[in-house]
Amino acid sequence: MKKWLHQLRWKLFISHLIIVLMAYVVLLAASNVLASLGLTGFAPLTLGSAAAETGQLGAGTTNAALELQEQVQSVIQQALLISGFGALAAAVVVSLFVSRRIVEPIQTLSHVSRRLAQGFYRERTSIQADDEIAQLAQSVNQLADALDQTERRRLALLADVTHELRTPLATIGGYMEGLVDGVVSANPATFNLILRETRRLQRLIEDLELLSRVEAGQLPVVARAIDLRSVLEAQIAQFEPLFSSNQVHLCLDVPEYLPQVWADPDRVAQVVINILANAYRYTPSGGTVTVQACADDHEVRVAVIDTGIGIAAEHLPHLFERFYRVDKSRARNSGGSGIGLAIARHLIYAQGGEIWAESDGIGKGARFIFTLPLAPQMAVVRVESVTTVDGA
């Protein structure tokens, strides 16, 4: 009993029924009152005039007036009774129609949402309408699409991580067995190879741990006024040998005076490392990678420009999503995990900046750009200086 009373379709029906009954009672009471008042005032006026002419006024006339009043009230009550049944039938039909248009789509959305919560990310709604419920259904489908894409990327990441872990572990295990059996010589080249594979494993694990902490909001960001030029110069110096070994020219194009920014130097360095590593990965020998920086009245913009393989337009909106990789085979061969740019995005957002990518197409290189806010005192000084110049 209580269960069906809580269902929306019955609530709609009962609400319509209550409205009909209230309207019926009000009309019935009003019609009786108006009929009584109208006939009471009408009978003396007509019959009184006849009595004045004939000089006769008896009890029969009064009884006739009462009978007329009762007949009129009876007719009105019958009409209201018929109209009440008609209104009740209309309420039933309207309730069924409205509940079908509202309750059933809501039940469908509820079913789809439960399926999505259970991990069935390919569930979709097929509600065809142009009202708010259809808009809600479209939003649920968009959410399902996003969850499905994220799940696919997660599965792809698991496969990639498995491959990344398996390859260096197999290499390390093979060489260690060879050393134990005496098949492989214990020379510096062997130890360097094992060390390189070990560092590759360490790098992958650190990236996964960093992404997990960033997305959980557990990575502290201590912003302060820093010299961005010195941070960029340090990273250029760190990557210069690696780029030179691949015959890629790495250069820094930053003005002599670059205002201080409000940021965490360690997090900014991590962002630059991830972007430069990405540029190195996709820039062939003989190419150039340039790090540029410029400032305006509110922020400093840093751009890492490469002459690499370029990026197709359809990939640009997704580059900073977690698990997204444009070229899986190339990234896998070079050891990329596909999460470096996702880490960079979270770190930049945590410092109040923006980050995006640009490319003119395949074979035309790419530009990765991020911004950082100026240190508060620097922003005030620059605004005042610009105002003075404009005033002059």
52-81: per-residue pLDDT in tens? 444 454 566 667 767 776 776 676 667 667
* Token representation of residue 104: 């059933």
pLDDT at 377: 72
250 contacts 311 by C-beta, under 8 angstroms? no
pLDDT at 331: 46
CA dihedral 34, 39, 40, 41 (to 10 degrees): 90
Question: CA dist 378 to 194, 301, 333, 373, 374, Å?
Answer: 49, 15, 44, 10, 6
pLDDT at 222: 87
pLDDT at 60: 63
134 contacts 154 by C-beta, under 8 angstroms? no
Gap between the Cα atoms of 137 and 134, Å rounded: 5
Intervals of the chain under pLDDT 70 = 1-13, 15-16, 20, 24, 26-62, 65, 69, 72-73, 75-77, 79-80, 83-84, 86-87, 91, 98-99, 101, 129-131, 323-338, 378-392
User: Distance from CA of residue 343 to its chain's centroid?
Assistant: 19
User: Distance from CA of residue 178 to its chain's centroid?
Assistant: 52
Gap between the Cα atoms of 254 and 257, Å rounded: 8
Question: Which CATH architecture best describes the domain 132-215?
Answer: Orthogonal Bundle (1.10)
pLDDT at 329: 53
pLDDT at 263: 92
Please state the CATH superfamily assignment of the domain spanning residues 224-382 in this structure: Histidine kinase-like ATPase, C-terminal domain (3.30.565.10)
